[in-house]
Amino acid sequence: MTFVNNHVSPTTDEDATFGPEPYDVNFIFPILPLSLESPRIKLIPFIPKLHAELYFNATVDCQFLYDFLPFSMATLKSILIFAEGMRSSPGKILFAIFDKTLLPESLSAHPSRSFAGIIGLNNANLDYLSVDIGPIVVLPAYQKTHVATHSVGTLLRYCLELPSAVAHPGLGLRRVTWLAKPDNIASIRLAEKMGMIREGVLRWTYVVESPGTRTRDGDPNYKLGRDCLLLTMTCEDWEMRGSELVKQKIDR
């Protein structure tokens, strides 16, 4: 018996586009719009034609936002490549964050006034009913405000609440995880504030271009790497305390 392996890597780097029309988010779990907002923020699937230039204009001089992330996006093309990389994997989805505390009509009439950043879901697994929250990039004007708390809380509720829930039906997942660079104190603090529990350090979690925390001598494809602290909330955590904690944070 013979076999072949005809895998061809995507050529997104050579042909960055705004994606298909209509835009297919290509996510393995259902999108539940009513469960993707709080009284103060709204999460909308990131559509490059609508949101890529908003994001570029808001971050072009703010590359420090990527200091703790395993990637950076300094150009519009790099944003399009990143968005298509997320879209091309059914286990990933990227959301644009909008602040609802401004006039409601600004969300559609003047979106740049209320655009607050991006947040995503990664490594969604239909068999294991699990997902990672990330990446999250909150624009400087919205840091130390309600945006991060409400965005993370909204995604936790969307992921962990049961589909039968009346107010905010969710996906009913079993496990939501959060990966943070071990020295990213702000990220770890945010996850723990939302009720996530430390489980340990995952070594060599990401390959990164710079700067890494690990190297491998003699590797012909030498690249830097980094570890991640793993934090988790399970469905049991959600039912015992997470749901009420998130509600308190969002309602406060």
In this predicted model, which residue has the larger pLDDT, 109 or 101?
A: 101
> Please, what is the Cα angle at 55 between 142 and 206, to 5 degrees?
90
Domain map (residue ranges) of the chain? 33-251
Q: What is the CATH number of domain 33-251?
A: 3.40.630.30
Give the pLDDT confidence of 188-238 residue by residue, as tens digits. Answer: 999 999 999 999 999 988 877 665 566 667 665 666 788 899 999 999 999
User: Where on the phi/psi map is residue 134: left (φ > 0), alpha (ψ -120 to 50), or beta?
Assistant: left
C-alpha distances in angstroms, 100 versus 35, 38, 111, 116, 225?
A: 15, 9, 11, 10, 38
pTM of the complete model: 0.90
Long-range contacts at 200-204 (CB < 8 A, ≥ 24 apart): 200/229, 200/230, 201/227, 201/228, 201/229, 201/230, 202/227, 202/228, 202/229, 202/230, 203/227
Give the pLDDT confidence of 8-64 residue by residue, as tens digits. Answer: 766 655 567 898 999 999 999 999 999 999 999 999 999 999 999 999 999 999 999
